[in-house]
Amino acid sequence: MHTHRTVRKTRSLWWLLLLFTACRQEELPPPADQQPLPVPAHFPAPHYNFASNKPIPAGIALGRKLFYDPITSVDSSISCASCHVQTLAFAHNQSISRGVGGKLGVRNSPALQNLAWVPWFNADGGILHLDVQPLAPITDSAEHNFNLPDLFDRLRRHPQYPADFEAAFGSRTVSDRPFFLAMSQFMTQLVSAGSLYDQVLTQKATFSIDQAAGYALFRTHCTSCHSEPLTSNFAFARNGHQSSTNDEGRKRVTGDQVDFGKFRIPSLRNVALTAPYMHDGSLPTLEAVIEHYTQPDYPADAPIGTGIALNSQQKNQLKAFLQSLTDPAFLQNERLSSPFQP
């Protein structure tokens, strides 16, 4: 009897061990801080096809390094993070961005967040896939002012990058496919879903009276374009803001006059930190934006075509709601910050 029980015990332990090794074989133990983020339960299904580029810790880590490394610009002076600053929700506070040598670009650097849900990129929707987006800043003379062949040569000669490519993609070959897939693996991790607004949506917190009143105003006047929960439906619209840079907006891509002055509706998540506002960064504060929406202005699409009537209390309430879209955990998430020593 006694021997029998010992055998059974040993056997069940043996099974446990088998199960454990089976799990470990499927995925190597990754550095704990680069585990892929889960998709927030209150978000819709992502647009990005993760089946074609599944984020893994080594791929995320490589993309993160490349994002923060000025090696990606012609004179090693500018990285993606020069214009996309984590504490500003990966936006920048200069009205029009500046690249290598201080050269002025054409638009305001937008926040980078929840990019896996974005169907087309930039204020005019001119780029159709996240995987090719980094090509634009790398080659733009007012951004990194560089080219892929020379960049890849640099990475091949680097003491660490070939090993990083191998860890992520199983080969030391530095080429466009692994480069862009790694960039996307990191960029899809820029998920902001922890604001007070998110906590209210998931019933973990409640708004103050002013925030609640502002939320009601937002749902009445703003969500036809800034739809929930991503705070954008990503369509192109005229919001009545007259471009200070003669930017044609969506027409630049389609060539169609009906698209003149239309811009992709931006997400408002972390909007309290992404000043100045609009494609040209010409509105300095949230107050100025709210003021703008109350003016009957340059042609705008419904429902704001004739300006939204708000009294000063309502303006403050709307601002209080917009501030509830700030996500401190995202802005401070160490997994998304520079991997280099300051």
* Cα 171 off chain centre by: 28
* 194-215 b/e (C-beta count within 10 Å ≥ 16 → b): bbbbbbbbeeeeebeebbebbb
- The C-alpha angle with vertex 333 and arms to 84 and 120, in degrees rounded to 5, equals 45
CB of 131 to ligand HEC, least distance (A): 10
* Cα 153 off chain centre by: 28
Nearer to ligand HEC, 101 or 170 (CB): 101
Quick check: 99 binds ligand HEC (CB under 6 A)? yes
Exactly one of 64, 226, 250, 315 binds ligand HEC (CB under 6 A); that residue is 226
Exactly one of 48, 215, 293, 330 binds ligand HEC (CB under 6 A); that residue is 293
Q: Is the peptide bond before 36 cis (omega within 30 degrees of 0)?
A: no
What is the rounded distance in angstroms from the CA atom of residue 31 to the CA atom of residue 52? 23
CB 182 within 8 Å of CB 62? yes
Count how many residues are written for the chain: 342
Applying the rule CB under 6 A, the residues between 17 and 56 that interact with ligand HEC are none
Q: How many CB atoms lie within 10 A of CB 71?
A: 16
Paired tokens of 210: 């002013």
Quick check: 137 binds ligand HEC (CB under 6 A)? yes
Nearer to ligand HEC, 134 or 194 (CB): 134
CB of 179 to ligand HEC, least distance (A): 10
Quick check: 178 binds ligand HEC (CB under 6 A)? no
What track of x and - describes contact with ligand HEC for positions 180 through 219 (by CB under 6 A)?
---x---x--------------------------------
Best CA proximity match to 278, nearest among 300, 256, 308: 300
What is the rounded distance in angstroms from the CA atom of residue 245 to the CA atom of residue 311? 31
Q: How many CB atoms lie within 10 A of CB 102?
A: 8
Residues with Cβ within 8 Å of 305's Cβ and at least 6 positions away in sequence, in order, are 240, 296, 299
Nearer to ligand HEC, 169 or 279 (CB): 279
Quick check: 116 binds ligand HEC (CB under 6 A)? no
Q: Which residue has the tokens 């819709």?
A: 44
Quick check: 314 binds ligand HEC (CB under 6 A)? no
Residues with Cβ within 8 Å of 222's Cβ and at least 6 positions away in sequence, in order, are none
Quick check: 89 binds ligand HEC (CB under 6 A)? no
CB of 245 to ligand HEC, least distance (A): 10
Nearer to ligand HEC, 35 or 244 (CB): 244
Number of residues that bind ligand HEC (CB under 6 A): 52
CB of 14 to ligand HEC, least distance (A): 49
Best CA proximity match to 90, nearest among 264, 274, 232, 322: 274
Exactly one of 48, 64, 194, 221 binds ligand HEC (CB under 6 A); that residue is 221
Quick check: 105 binds ligand HEC (CB under 6 A)? yes
Exactly one of 61, 89, 123, 196 binds ligand HEC (CB under 6 A); that residue is 123
| Residues near ligand HEC (CB under 6 A) | 67, 72, 78, 80, 82-84, 97-99, 105, 107, 109-110, 112, 115, 118, 121-123, 133-134, 137-138, 143-144, 183, 187, 221-222, 224-226, 237, 239, 241, 263, 265-266, 268, 271, 274, 277-279, 289, 293, 301, 303-304, 308, 318
